Structure formats: C-alpha cells, structure tokens
Structure 1
Amino acid sequence: MGKTKMYMDTVVDIQVVTEQPQHLVEASIDRAFAAFRKVEDACSRFSQDSELMIACRRIAAPVPVSSYLFEPLRFALEIAEWTNGVFDPTVGKTMEECGFNRHYLSGEVIESFADASVTYRDIVMDEHNRTLYLKKPMVIDLGAVAKGFAIDLASRELQRFERFVVNAGGDLYAGGSDERRNVWKIGIQHPERAEQNIHIVEITNEAICTSGSYERKSSVTDGVHHIIHPRTKRSPNDWVSCTVIAPFAMMADAFSTAAFLLGEEGSKALIEQAELKGILISSQLQIMKIGEV
C-alpha cells in the first residue's frame, strides 16, 4: 500500500508491504505524513509564520520552541562544531541573496535582515528549558537536516510493519526488506542523466541521502547551487554528488551536505570518522566508495 503527498518542496512517497490490516496501515501512513507537516511548519525559512522564522525575529531573548525545531537545530549545531563551521545553519541570508527564497506553494518571496558576521556560535540552545537564544539577527537554514528529521519521525510511525520505505525526493529510509523479501536496492541518480542511475546500493533498516550540485541552481548568481560555503558564499564543486548511508535519515542528510562542503580533502575523513558509508562522485564522474557499499 502506498500514498504520495507534497511537503518541503518535494514529493514524499510512503510504501508499506505487510499482511497487517489495512486500517492500521492507513492510520500509520497518515501519522507519518503528519510528521512531515509538523516539521515543515516548524522549520521552514520560506514562511514568515513558521516557528523558525518567528524565532529568528526575536534577538537577545530566550524563545521557547517545540521539539520539531529544537532537535534538528541542535543536531545542525553539532555538525557545525564538528566541521569547524564549514557546515553552518546561519547561512540562510546568503541563501536568500542567491535566490533561494521563494515558497514552493505560495510563491511568496522572503527577504530578511541578518548581521553579516553571524555564525553558528551566535546561537545558544538551552536543553533544560528547550529555548533558543540568538545573539545577532540571522536567518537559520535547516535544509540539510529538517527533511531527514521528518523522514525519521515518519519511519518511526511505520516500525510495526515488516517492509516499508519513506522516500522524500530520493532521500529515504528503507525498513526491513522489499516485496520479495530481499534487501532494498536503491539507485543513485546519474548527475548528468536524470533518468539513469550511476550506482546501486543495498540497504536494510538504513537511510540514504544525497546532496548534488545538479539539483537546484541559483537564478541570481552564476556557478552557485543550493549548497553554499558560509565563508566564501560560493558553491564547492569538487563533487557533483555526495551520498551517505546512515542509521538515521537526519544523519545521512546532514553528512551528505557536510561532505559536499568539505570537498575532496575533508569529505572522506568526515564520513570515516562518523563510521558511516558514502558514495562520492567527482565532476569527472569518478566514483569514490567509502565503507562497505
């Protein structure tokens, strides 16, 4: 049984293969989709009334936030610390300036104010009180963690079933086995031929996420795509595609973006240090495999 809906500017497809009653499957799928809606409502920087954008307008004051915002932001800050700020969720204003500021449904254009010197270190999170404190004006971008977080929450709703996949635009979690009771075979899109796969991986009870330079390009700045280095304000191009396989989608999502940003020298070390698996594709379409993939 499967259903498809649109969230986070992408098609979300949920498939469940089980012998359990249909009404249980439908209820669980509905709760899985509800997780995407809640995360989008909390984390979108494209809606002025999202929890994230409301918090971004409160400077130098603790703002209570829900777990749907607190958890992905906390994880983003951990990755920022790990990469010494190469991965930085305060890159939102730069994203706006490069043309990534239009809501995919309403067409509304977001233009915000941010301090030019802002970094992830200007965000203070209080875990006990679950509050967010911003030292300077900023726009937080959670595009590298929020979708993975939503996939994880949705997958949690489907754990009772033998076989399922939550696929959000190619980033996915595959539970159990496929309809033939084999491990899931997942294709990685060819960077230059969208209808073809450049590599196939096998996974079970794992997530796989890909960051690629071919996905979204700036309409404002030549040579810039949606993965932007926070310091240079340019897009790295050592890789055209970085895929990471991890136990959870938020981890795979964040590490695929971080690997892309770190380029040829730092990406392999990052994935190995995290004990994850990766498939990195160079601009010459050469494939580097990390771990047993």
Structure 2
Amino acid sequence: MHRVEQVMGFPVSLRIDDARVPDGLGDAVFGGLREVDERFSPFRADSEVCRLDRGEIGPDDISADLAEVLLLAERYRVATGGAFDVRLPGRGLDPCAVVKGWSVQRAAELLRGAGVRRFCLNAGGDVVASGGSWRVGVRHPEFADQVCVVLEIGDGAVATSARYERGDHILDGRTGRAATGLLSLTVVAPTLTEADVTATAAFALGAQGVGWAAAREGCEVFAVDGERRVRRSAGLPVLGG
C-alpha cells in the first residue's frame, strides 16, 4: 500500500511493504488523524482545545487524550525551563507541537496492532518507521533541493524543527520572541512523540538545545546552528556510518 492524503495542513504518506494489508486499515489510519485534527486544532472554534481555552469546559472535563497531551506539554515546559510552552502570553492554547508527533505515533501503533510489520509513515517530513531499513533525508536548511545528511533507521522515528518552511514560528516561551539560535535541528528517537516534541523544545532553547536534546535518553541529534556549523551526537545513525 502507498497512500498520500492532506491532513492537519500537511501531506501524510503511508507506505506498507507487508504482503497482506488488512482491509480498511488505511481508512482507519487517516480517519484517526482527521479526528485528532478536529478535536485538538486551535484553529477550529468547536474543537476541544478551543472550548477549553475559552473556559467552556474545565480541566476536569477534558478527554483522557487531551489530558495526556497537556501532561506531555507540561513535562517539556518544565524540562526546558519554560522555553517550550503551549500557553504563550497573548496567545491561545496551542498544543500542535505535541499533537502532531503524538497522533502519528498513535497511528503507527494502530498499524502494529493490526499485525503490520514493515511500514513508513511520513507526516510533513517527520517519519516513524518499522521493520527493515529506511533511509530518511534531512533537508538542507537553506537549499530546498539538497539534503545535508541521510539517516538510516529500522524501528524508530525522525523529526526536524527548522525555520525554512514557516520562518521564525517557534517561540522561546521564556522571552516570547522567536528562537533564532538554530537553523534546523533533527532528532532520532524511539517514538515520533519523543522525536517531534524534543526537536521543537530543543529548537526553542536555541543553541543550548542541541546538547539538551542529545542528553535525553534514546535521542540522537543533528543540527545546524545560526553560524551554519553542523553539530551531531556520536550515535546518530548516518547512512554508511
């Protein structure tokens, strides 16, 4: 199976290399991602996130899923000393930096639960894969038609936070200003939940985020800082060593 759909504002591609794919599995994967978008988008007035932000429901009334997302966000806020925060002053509640990786990881677990062993799920450039060996190119932060490194993963995930697609959109929660110490930062981790949130949180920390991310258990890092210097952790799974 190879299927691509637009979900949550970016293309999501699913590739399954197993000989047999259960009927309806692709529909379940993409339907689940759409449901998450409807429930947790800060851009949909009727979403659970917006209703909580407006005070129409209280913290005790939210779903277990949203409670899990907010708990993850709080853990990373504390771990970064406030650099990563889904509640920035003057802005509404925006858990997108957690929801993307969390929801795609749940989709990967749905695939595994259905017996699928070899697959690659790519959500706007962030990847979770299983079985075999998958090559993931990390885009050059300044040249869209080039990659600066190719990673090789088996069971795991890769996520990148950068300035090239949406400009200075990641803010340092400690200052409220755009985080500009890095051009891009990529994290390899066991799950896309960890990889995606760690990449965003580290980017918000600026240059010090490279070491912070690399010190987290199970995480490997590739980064290009504001001076265009490449920094990488020793265990980064680069293709060919």
What's the TM-score, normalizing by structure 2? 0.91
For each residue in 1:229-254, what CA deviation from the matched residue of structure 2 results, as whole angstroms up to 9, or x when unmatched? 12322212221101111111111111
For 1:103-138, what per-residue CA distance to the aligned partner results, in whole angstroms no more than 9, with x for missing partners? xxxxxxxxxxxxxxxxxxxxxxxxxxxxxxxxxxxx
SS of aligned partner of 1:157: helix
Structure 1: distance between partners of 2:138 and 2:9: 20
| Counterpart pick for 1:37 among 34, 37, 40 | 34
**Aligned counterparts, 1:121-160, within 5 A:** 139-159=92-112, 160=115
Structure 1 pair 89–155 and aligned structure 2 pair: CA distance change class (3 A): same
Query: Do the aligned partners of 2:187 and 2:199 also contact (CA within 8 Å) in 1?
Result: yes
Partners of 2:29 and 2:90 in 1: how far apart?
A: 31
Aligned partners of 1:7 and 1:92: how far apart in 2? 28
- Map residues 1-293 of structure 1 onto 2, 5 A cutoff: 1-20=1-20, 22=21, 24=22, 26-58=23-55, 61-91=58-88, 93-94=90-91, 139-159=92-112, 160-177=115-132, 183-217=133-167, 225-293=168-236
Range that drifts further, 48-57 or 229-238: 229-238
Equivalents in 1 of 2:216, 2:18: separation in Å?
Answer: 37
The one-letter code of the counterpart of 1:11 is P
Measure the CA separation in 1 of the matches of 2:98 and 2:89: 13
2:239 equivalent in structure 1: none
Distance 1:232 1:8 in 2: 28
Cα distance per residue 1:46-93 (max 9 Å; x no partner): 111111001111179444222332222211111111112111110274
How far apart, CA to CA, are the structure 1 residues paired with 2:103 and 2:218? 23
In structure 2, do the counterparts of structure 1 residues 266 and 150 end up closer, same or farther at CA, with 3 Å as the change threshold? closer
CA drift at 1:8: 1.1
Closer, same or farther in 2 for the Cα pair 1:292/1:62, shift >3 Å?
Answer: closer
Contact 1:39 1:68 in 2 (8 A): no
- The normalised TM-score by structure 1 is 0.75
- Quote the offset at 1:30 in angstroms: 1.4
Deviation at 1:173, TM superposition (A): 0.2
Length, aligned pairs only: 234
Give SS of 1:54's match.
helix
Indicate the residue corresponding to 1:131 in structure 2: none
Higher CA-based Rg: 1
Unaligned runs of 5+ in 1: 95-138, 178-182, 218-224
Q: Is the 8 A contact 2:89 2:176 kept in 1?
A: no
Q: Which amino acid aligns with 1:258?
A: A
Q: CA RMSD in A?
A: 1.8
Give distance in 2, aligned partners of 1:289 and 1:256. Answer: 13
Comparing 273-282 with 240-249, greater Cα deviation is found at 273-282
CA change 1:226–1:92 in 2 (3 A) is farther
Measure, in 1, the Cα distance between the counterparts of 2:130 and 2:59.
39
